Chain A
Amino acid sequence: MNQRLDDLEPMTCSMMALYLSDYRRGETLRSATTAIEAHLSKCARCARELKELEEVEAWIGRDRDIPSGELAQARLQLQRAMARDDSAPTPRTMAPWRSILLHAAGFLVLVAVLAPILSRFSTAVRSENTQTASLFQPWMDEVRSVREQLSLWIPETSARQWLKEAPREATRWMWRLTPKPLMEMQETPSSSG
């Protein structure tokens, strides 16, 4: 605490002001006390300052009492508040196995509620798919005629399967159309080096 005070040689009046309270209470190190007393013997202004601060601190010192009965009242009020606090419901921590069981039960309830709704939804989607397939039928006929004309391979599938498998079939189709030299270049990475 007084290390900084020890470092400050010679002591200035502004530094003295900050350490007068410590000095008055005997909380300064011996070396700091010596330095402060040396300064006080030379500086009348700091000596006067110390005396005035002593008066103020003594004045405050007389005001440390608590009015009689005040403490007992405060303690009683605290006890009542704590009793209210104790009787209030507190959130209880749940055991891990109970939490797992609760989550599982919740999941089962969710499945039981959602299963009938999902099955109805799936029936509705299936009938919608049939309608969609009939919409695509003319287009499929057109594709079939083009295939016959060009003698190219186009998968012979129903409209519904075509919709499902289109991406895979398209990839396979593109693979067949790719020129062979290019395929070889892609398959054999450069072995040089």
Chain B
Amino acid sequence: MTLRLMTRHGTLPVGPTDGDEVRAFQSGDRTAFDRLVDRHQKSLLRLSLRLLGASEDARDLFQDVFLQVFRNLKDLEHPDAFRSWMYQIAIRMARKRRMRPRPVPAAETLELLQAPTAMDAIERREDLDRLRTCLERLPGRQKEVVLLRNYEDLSFAEIGRILGISEEAARANHYQGLRRLRGEFHMEESP
């Protein structure tokens, strides 16, 4: 049985931390890596999807990040900073991918965005579709900060460490990003 700690954002498992798992991996326990993947796969895939848009690209990024993590985990000097390190790799790889020529969105992505049956579901889908379009228009740094803050619930200090900027710069980018999102959303609402 896993003990869970109730927090404002939900429940957190009380057990081995990321640092414990990394240290276990470094001392030869390969299954520790699987546990780390289990723990972070959802957030990493969500970040990949929001950073790159197309689901095929996101899956490739997800795979590349975890492969990179697996290859370099034994040399990680600060096991407790695993999550920041993993996001750093993801952001760096996503930036490289964004610089490549953009392919036409994959058919499966379009499928995901199509035809829910209920009317509210359609409205919800349209709403989210509009949000993703607005997110896509944000400048790179602001988009990264908004994703890490609002989707992954990271603190500004951690976001600063991941992106290599100060905590204050992370705050400012977040605020500007949200303002821009709000502006874009109102523009989309009133064509």
Q: Which residues of A pack against B, CB within 8 Å? A: 1, 17-22, 25-27, 52-53, 55-57, 59-64, 66-67, 70-71, 73-75, 77-78, 81-82, 85
Contact = CB atoms under 8 A, between A and B. Distances in A.
B112 A74 contact: no
Given A70-B49, A78-B37, A60 B150 contact: yes
In this complex, the member of B60, B168, B182 whose beta carbon has the largest number of chain A beta carbons within 10 angstroms is: B182
Given A71-B41, A78-B37, A63 B178 contact: no
Interface string B169-190: 0011011001001100100000
Contact of B67 (A57, A62, A66, A82): A82
Nearest to B49: A66
Q: Do most interface residues of chain B lie in helix, strand or loop, or is the interface mixed?
A: helix
Interface residues of B, number: 41
B63 A74 contact: yes
Contacts of B55: 67, 70
Contact of B62 (A19, A20, A22, A78): A78
Contacts of A64: 46, 151
A153 B181 CA distance: 103
B177 to A, nearest CB: 9
Contacts of A53: 178, 182
28 contacts: A1-B167, A17-B175, A18-B168, A21-B178, A25-B8, A53-B182, A56-B178, A56-B185, A57-B150, A59-B127, A60-B146, A60-B150, A61-B150, A63-B50, A63-B132, A63-B151, A64-B46, A66-B45, A67-B55, A70-B55, A73-B59, A74-B58, A74-B59, A74-B62, A75-B41, A77-B60, A77-B62, A82-B70
Interface of B: 8, 37, 41-42, 45-46, 49-50, 55, 58-60, 62-63, 66-67, 70-71, 112, 124, 127-128, 131-132, 146, 149-151, 155-157, 167-168, 171-172, 174-175, 178, 181-182, 185
Closest 10 CB pairs of A and B: A18-B171, A60-B150, A74-B59, A74-B62, A67-B112, A78-B63, A56-B182, A81-B63, A63-B128, A56-B178
Given A71-B45, A85-B67, 16 more contacts: A1-B155, A19-B171, A21-B175, A52-B182, A60-B146, A60-B151, A63-B50, A63-B132, A66-B46, A67-B112, A70-B59, A71-B41, A71-B42, A74-B59, A78-B67, A82-B70
A59 B133 CA distance: 13
A74 B45 contact: yes
Contacts of A22: 156
A55 B67 CA distance: 38
A71 B43 CA distance: 10
A169 B128 CA distance: 98
